[in-house]
Amino acid sequence: MIYEEHMVDRQPAVESSPEKEKSLNFVEEIINDHLASGRFGQRVHTRFPPEPNGYLHIGHAKSIVLNFSLAEKYGGFCNLRFDDTNPSKEEEEYVQSIKEDIKWLGFDWEDREYYASDYFEQLYEWAIKLIKDGKAYVCDLPSDKAREYRGTLTEPGKNSPYRDRSVEENLDLFERMREGEFPDGARVLKAKIDMAHPNFNMRDPVMYRILHARHHRTGDKWCIYPMYDFTHGQSDSIEKITQSICTLEFENHRPLYDWFCEKLDIHHPQQIEFARLNLTYTVMSKRKFLILVNEGFVSGWDDPRMPTISGLRRRGYTPESIRKFCDYIGVAKNNSIVDVTILENHVREHLNAIAPRVMVVLNPIKVVIENYPEGQVEQLSAVNNPEDESAGSRIVPFSRELYIDRDDFMEVPVKNYFRLSPGKEVRLRYGYIIKCDSVVKNDMGEIVELRCSYDPDTLGKQPTDRKVKGVIHWVSAEQALEAEIRLYDRLFLAENPDKVEEGQDFRSHVNPESLQVIQHAKLEPSLKGAQAGERFQFERIGYFHVDQDSQGDDLVFNRITSLRDTWAKIASRS
């Protein structure tokens, strides 16, 4: 634990975006052009299109915030569309979690909940149309051969020997594909574009594949499934989307997106690409999360160390801070990695404003105030939130026996140590100044108790004859509650967990100390009755969230974040 000398409640605020008008981002500029030219009339209709193959992460939050905020800003709509074309990897559990996460972030798709799988029949008809127009054909090349025929970056591909099948034969084969006559992988339907096209995606891309697999919504109705490229744009088109916003890796799919819309002669949205969010000390891919979950590095998709929305929620992040973070980082055209501290500072800033302060001792050592009457209890008044006067104050009991944190005592103090040490004074937060008179040790020489005295004239005022710099937190022993505290830290030790030595992967950077559990922390009694979901600032320690594992008076707290960025100090020291 790293404490700052006389650390106070305040902390540096995020250099947050001033509330003044922000300049337009490039997506807004494109939308404004569309509005000016009337390309989509005056409509703005976006969508968020998750594939239900995992839980959403903070990167998805960026896309959600972007799509829903644009709709809001322009008085339009944003759809939720499940891009569920891949039967084997998708599950209902993911659909539910995605909906919960978007709602928690504070967005509402109203009745516009769509599924690409609802469009399978329409997509099939459009495939038939392309076959009839001579723009699609059934290809029997096995996949390794098909790869050969595609050519390379420097060499054009070759036409498939099946490319010139007659329309009748194509129609017949495609229908029989649908009927289930052929095994998986035996044939595909391809778009007939240009095998010499400089863009690989335009070299007769696959539109349909055979896959005898059960789909979470359509069951066994289909054994052919459309590919992403033959689904996404068409789904956008069916929903009359205007701007189809996606991440940069789809930039070179845009010509194909446009080709299908043109050849089918259907409503043609504008695809716009932006850079995905990457964070330092974080991996950002459902595939990797699945490994972390399945191999027990974390307790589940909602483990408080996960950058999933459900993990951040359980950790105690607020939806407001995530939305504000997404606004703050903005949208860009080039990929970059955002410092995770920026996200952490946004949650700190929000919690600083809203979280009630309480005193909790994580690593207790007993203090006996020898000149304080036995059996006496004084009710001291403590401010709930110095940032918010309306939060009022509460009562904390003070008595002869207290707990303070072991880290706030040093038998042999180092230079500039302003906390407690033999013969030295310190102020108890909201209370008196105490002085350490002696130290009680056990047989092993470990300090088990501090004997102190208090100055009754120092409640709420400074002594005139001396200066006492340090302020420490404390809890009255008799009234203290106990709780389990889970100190979460970053899950990865490396700034870029994907940068690894030969033969290793991101797993080699997992932080073995990303969770430390404290069993018998001492809490001030005002925390009695705290409910799962509540957030507090433990004075001088950090922000904490009551975990769902709490049962009645058996409270469990998750550390959301320390008060300050302790990693920056570690990094600058090393």
Nearest to 9 by CA among 546, 390, 448, 536: 536
Task: Determine the angle formed by the axes of helices 58-73 and 319-329, rounding to 10 degrees.
Answer: 80
Q: Which of 44, 45, 46, 50 binds ligand ATP (CB under 6 A)?
A: 50
Q: Is 277 or 362 the residue whose CB approaches ligand ATP more closely?
A: 277
Q: Is 43 or 276 the residue whose CB approaches ligand ATP more closely?
A: 276
Half-sphere exposure of 17 (CA within 13 A, CB side): 15
Nearest to 483 by CA among 527, 524, 521, 515: 521
Helices (H) and strands (E) in the chain, counts: 13, 28
How many residues of this chain bind ligand ATP (CB under 6 A)?
14
Q: Which of the listed partners (Mg ion, ligand ATP, none) does 286 bind, with a CB threshold of 5 to 8 Å by partner kind? A: ligand ATP
Q: What's the min distance (Å) between Cβ of 250 and ligand ATP? A: 7
SS3 of residue 274 by DSSP: strand
**Is 276 noted as a catalytic residue in this protein?**
yes
Q: What's the min distance (Å) between Cβ of 511 and ligand ATP? A: 21
Nearest to 360 by CA among 473, 472, 470: 473
Q: Which of 14, 31, 44, 60 binds ligand ATP (CB under 6 A)?
A: 60
Q: Which of 9, 28, 51, 378 binds Mg ion (CB under 5 A)?
A: 51
Q: Which of the listed partners (Mg ion, ligand ATP, none) does 247 bind, with a CB threshold of 5 to 8 Å by partner kind? A: ligand ATP
Q: Which of 51, 91, 169, 455 binds ligand ATP (CB under 6 A)?
A: 51
Applying CB under 6 A, the span of 173-181, 284-292, 351-359, 418-426 interacting with ligand ATP comes to 284-292
Within 266-363, strands assigned E span: 270-274, 277-279, 336-338, 357-358, 360-361
Q: Which of the listed partners (ligand ATP, Mg ion, none) does 160 bind, with a CB threshold of 5 to 8 Å by partner kind? A: none
Q: Which of 122, 159, 252, 285 binds ligand ATP (CB under 6 A)?
A: 285
Half-sphere exposure of 125 (CA within 13 A, CB side): 5
Asked if 252 touches ligand ATP (CB under 6 A), the answer is: no
Q: What's the min distance (Å) between Cβ of 330 and ligand ATP? A: 12
Residue indicated by tokens 């109203």: 110
Tell me, residue by residue from 326 to 355, as one string, x for binding to Mg ion by CB under 5 A and - for no binding. Answer: ------------------------------
Q: Nearest-CB residue to ligand ATP?
A: 59
Q: Residue 116 in contact with residue 235, Cβ under 8 Å? A: yes
Tell me how far apart the alpha carbons of residues 77 and 155 are, in angstroms, rounded to a whole number: 44
Tell me how far apart the alpha carbons of residues 59 and 46 are, in angstroms, rounded to a whole number: 17
Asked if 91 touches Mg ion (CB under 5 A), the answer is: no
Q: What's the min distance (Å) between Cβ of 51 and Mg ion? A: 4
**Is 99 noted as a catalytic residue in this protein?**
no
Q: What's the min distance (Å) between Cβ of 238 and Mg ion? A: 20
Within 100-203, strands assigned E span: 113-115, 136-139, 188-191
| Secondary element (H or E) of residue 225 | strand 224-226
Q: Is 115 or 474 the residue whose CB approaches ligand ATP more closely?
A: 115
Asked if 59 touches ligand ATP (CB under 6 A), the answer is: yes
Q: Is 331 or 369 the residue whose CB approaches ligand ATP more closely?
A: 331
Q: Any bridge partners for residue 452, and if so which?
A: 369, 436
Asked if 286 touches ligand ATP (CB under 6 A), the answer is: yes
- DSSP letter at 14 equals P
Applying CB under 5 A, the span of 47-55, 290-298, 465-473, 521-529 interacting with Mg ion comes to 47-55
Q: Any bridge partners for residue 455, and if so which?
A: 433
Q: Which of 276, 424, 451, 507 binds ligand ATP (CB under 6 A)?
A: 276
Q: What is the DSSP string of 546-574?
A: E-TT-BTTBEEEEEEEESS-HHHHHHHH-
The CB density around residue 248, as the number of other CB atoms within 10 Å, is: 14
**Is 357 noted as a catalytic residue in this protein?**
no
Q: Residue 371 in contact with residue 453, Cβ under 8 Å? A: yes
Tell me how far apart the alpha carbons of residues 40 and 43 are, in angstroms, rounded to a whole number: 6
Q: What's the min distance (Å) between Cβ of 498 and Mg ion? A: 18
SS3 of residue 65 by DSSP: helix
Q: CB burial class (10 A; 0-12, 13-18, 19+) of residue 532?
A: middle
Q: What's the min distance (Å) between Cβ of 54 and Mg ion? A: 9
Q: Any bridge partners for residue 523, and if so which?
A: 360, 481
Asked if 247 touches ligand ATP (CB under 6 A), the answer is: yes
Q: What's the min distance (Å) between Cβ of 22 and ligand ATP? A: 19
Q: Is 284 or 347 the residue whose CB approaches ligand ATP more closely?
A: 284
Asked if 277 touches ligand ATP (CB under 6 A), the answer is: yes
Nearest to 448 by CA among 440, 436, 456: 440
Q: What's the min distance (Å) between Cβ of 226 and Mg ion? A: 15
Q: Is 51 or 484 the residue whose CB approaches Mg ion more closely?
A: 51
> What radius of gyration, in Å, describes the C-alpha atoms of the chain?
31
Q: Which of the listed partners (ligand ATP, Mg ion, none) does 276 bind, with a CB threshold of 5 to 8 Å by partner kind? A: ligand ATP
Applying CB under 6 A, the span of 47-55, 303-311, 325-333, 463-471 interacting with ligand ATP comes to 47-55
Interacting residues with Mg ion (CB under 5 A): 51
- Residues with catalytic roles: 51, 276, 286
Interacting residues with ligand ATP (CB under 6 A): 49-51, 59-60, 62-63, 246-247, 276-277, 284-286
